Amino acid sequence: METSNFIKTIIKEDLDSGKHKEIITRFPPEPNGYLHIGHAKSIVINFGLADDFNGRTNLRFDDTNPLKEDQEYVDSIKEDVKWLGFEWEELRFASDYFDEMYDRAVLLINKGLAYVDDLTADEIREYRGTLTEPGKESPFRNRSIEENLDLFARMRGGEFENGQKVLRAKIDMGSPNINLRDPVIYRVSHAHHHNTGDKWCIYPMYAFAHPLEDAIEGVTHSLCTTEFEDQRPLYNWVVEQCEMASKPQQIEFGRLGLTNTVMSKRKLKQLVDEGFVDGWDDPRMPTISGLRRKGYTPEAIREFVKETGISKGSGVVDSAMLEHFVREDLKLKAPRTMGVLRPLKVVIKNYPEGQVEMLDAEINPENPEMGIRQIPFSREIYIEQDDFMENPPNKYFRLFPGNEVRLKHAYFIKCEDVIKDESGNVVEIHCTYDPETKSGTGFTGRKVKGTLHWVEASQAIPAEFRLYEPLILDNTVDEEESENKTFLDYVNESSLEKIKGFIEPNMAEIKAHDKFQFFRHGYFNVDPKDSNPAHIVFNQIVSLKSSFKL
Ligand code: ATP
Ligand code: MG
């Protein structure tokens, strides 16, 4: 279904009026971390709108802060954008434009619109004023153009220490918009850059670099999140005063947030660096790589993001909505199977010893084209520990002494004896089965209320199951941090549980990223890192049920 939104409306008007013949957007991540689901929103919006109007989208790395950036992040971002299903027109780096940016800064100096300042960072902050008080002019504000040109060249030449001098735009220290109070546009930073090496020891600030990058690439609509709204006047000032031929239009939309997680690279990096998780791609992380490893599909993420819509307001969306979309996507695609996560041995006393029969089971009853699989059945099987109770409460329909249940795809079994060890723990259940009740034969003699999943014991393949809970035990911690509490105070200590169980023998050949729906346990993904044929590991993607309704 085609939906409209305010950005689409603007773009359509710009095309109809002839302001632009073709639209160009860009996705501009800073390579200082892995992408998260919030970035997926920006990706879907930028690439999606360009697609809608036959335009183009560049992937551009905003790499103006070498201390925080890294090739590892560049590589992961490229992988994630491709995996999400998007193709960029051109791959660009802000650092490709450092020469041009330098020239534009010189142009500003020549126009009397930029000056070198000797104030320290703290002094600059102090002089900047507040929302209610105007700023104060720096004593260095009125240096001559010649002096500024000389000092800026010497900044570039490496004569000054980090922080000793900056270049500032000369705009208006009395502006009600603090961003216009002579923002810093270049700083000294003796740092090795992943792309330009040691060529530069001064780097442009984001607020100066970003509009130039957009203009250089001919971006028509520069879409960003609403925290940049107050910077729009500066964005336009830079484009105008630097005399850029192309005049991109900045349009802001609301950030995406999710309950029970944090969504900022800085915080996610902290979780990685301080060992709360096992890397950026830990399945508990809201990163694209974490979601992929957990078992999310690009389709599910794209559909989720589209459903959250585009508006000016930023919204914290219930994680259950994200889960809803992966269930929807996997429902028809994922083969059904049975896995026992916490095994309890059942011996079927009247089943012939040594006999194994093969039973037919549909691979996906909702998608019959997927065909039939075969599962062995014999005298010994495993069922789930909590599918048996010696002294059940009312309305417990699973196995208990004297009760009869259905084994999915197999027979009815009846519990006859409970075998315990010396300390009284149940170690084995002895049952009888009724050959008349074989599944698929149309048996209607009597009914049972419980259906249990199981696996045949002698051929069952051991497997590890990893179950996840939310990483953060708070709905909106991203917004609620205070001096006394940070998001780290809300980290869920038991967000990962690893258990050892069994799966059907027909799954011996499974490989990384294969996805299954385990009867009653939900959807699982074969872990791409830790799983191997000798030690199969599944990540639970999502359980079967959710309270979430669209
Ligand atoms: P973070 O605060 O997580 O580090 P960022 O905004 O600093 O995010 P960038 O690498 O600058 O990260 O982001 C690239 C693009 O993705 C930007 O245009 C940014 O506005 C957008 N973006 C980042 N986070 C979100 C989000 N939660 N929802 C929507 N868009 C986002
Ligand atoms: Mg950032």
Q: What is the pLDDT of residue 479?
A: 60
Nearest CA to ligand 1 atom 1: 264
Instruction: Establish whether residue 60 lines the binding site of ligand 1, counting it when its CB lies within 6 angstroms of any ligand atom.
Output: no
Indicate the average pLDDT of the chain.
95
| pLDDT, average across residues 188-198 | 95
| Dist. CA 356 → ligand 1 center (Å) | 57
| Dist. CA 424 → ligand 1 center (Å) | 57
What are the pLDDT digits (tens) for 325-334?
A: 999 999 999 9
Rounded Cα distance, 3 and 201, in Å: 47
53 has a pLDDT exceeding 90? yes
Q: Which ligand is nearest to the CA of 265?
A: 1
Nearest to 324 by CA among 514, 83, 545: 545
Q: What is the pLDDT of residue 306?
A: 94
pTM above 0.85, yes or no: yes
What are the pLDDT digits (tens) for 216-250?
A: 999 999 999 999 999 999 999 999 999 999 999 99
Q: What is the pLDDT of residue 1?
A: 40
* Mutation to probe ligand 1, out of 39, 269, 271 (largest number of atoms < 8 A from CB): 39
484 has a pLDDT exceeding 90? no
Give the nearest ligand 1 atom to 42 CA: 30
478 has a pLDDT exceeding 70? no
Rounded Cα distance, 463 and 25, in Å: 46
3 has a pLDDT exceeding 90? no
| Dist. CA 193 → ligand 2 center (Å) | 17
| Rg of the chain on CA atoms, in Å | 31
Instruction: Establish whether residue 317 lines the binding site of ligand 1, counting it when its CB lies within 6 angstroms of any ligand atom.
Output: no
At residue 418 the predicted structure's pLDDT band, cuts being 50, 70 and 90, is very high
| pLDDT, average across residues 519-543 | 97
Contact in structure between 151 and 157 (CB atoms under 8 Å): no
Instruction: Establish whether residue 59 lines the binding site of ligand 1, counting it when its CB lies within 6 angstroms of any ligand atom.
Output: no
Q: What is the pLDDT of residue 82?
A: 98
Chain-centroid distance of CA 168 in Å reads 37
What are the pLDDT digits (tens) for 497-527?
A: 999 999 999 999 999 999 999 999 999 999 9
Instruction: Establish whether residue 38 lines the binding site of ligand 1, counting it when its CB lies within 6 angstroms of any ligand atom.
Output: yes
Active site residues: 30, 255, 265
Q: Which ligand is nearest to the CA of 63?
A: 1
What are the pLDDT digits (tens) for 74-90?
A: 999 999 999 999 999 99
Q: Residues with Cβ < 8 Å from 362, sequence gap 6 or more?
A: 336, 368, 370, 371, 372, 373
Contact in structure between 40 and 301 (CB atoms under 8 Å): yes
Contact in structure between 20 and 252 (CB atoms under 8 Å): no
Angle between helices 298-308 and 319-331 (to 10 degrees): 130
Q: What is the pLDDT of residue 419?
A: 97
Q: Beta strand pairing status for 515-518 and 461-468?
A: unpaired
Nearest CA to ligand 1 atom 29: 255
Rounded Cα distance, 516 and 339, in Å: 10
At residue 546 the predicted structure's pLDDT band, cuts being 50, 70 and 90, is confident
At residue 311 the predicted structure's pLDDT band, cuts being 50, 70 and 90, is confident
Q: Which ligand is nearest to the CA of 35?
A: 1
* Mutation to probe ligand 1, out of 7, 34, 42 (largest number of atoms < 8 A from CB): 42
Nearest CA to ligand 1 atom 27: 38
Nearest CA to ligand 1 atom 13: 29
Nearest to 502 by CA among 374, 383, 369: 383
Contact in structure between 455 and 339 (CB atoms under 8 Å): yes
71 has a pLDDT exceeding 60? yes
2 has a pLDDT exceeding 60? no
What are the pLDDT digits (tens) for 101-153?
A: 999 999 999 999 999 999 999 999 999 999 999 999 999 999 999 999 999 99
What are the pLDDT digits (tens) for 343-389?
A: 999 999 999 999 999 999 999 999 999 999 999 999 999 999 999 99
Nearest CA to ligand 1 atom 10: 29
Give phi and psi for 388, each to the nearest 5.
-130, 140
Cβ burial, residue 420 (10 Å; 0-12/13-18/19+) = exposed
Q: What is the token pair recorded at 242?
A: 């630097």
Instruction: Establish whether residue 31 lines the binding site of ligand 1, counting it when its CB lies within 6 angstroms of any ligand atom.
Output: no
At residue 14 the predicted structure's pLDDT band, cuts being 50, 70 and 90, is very high
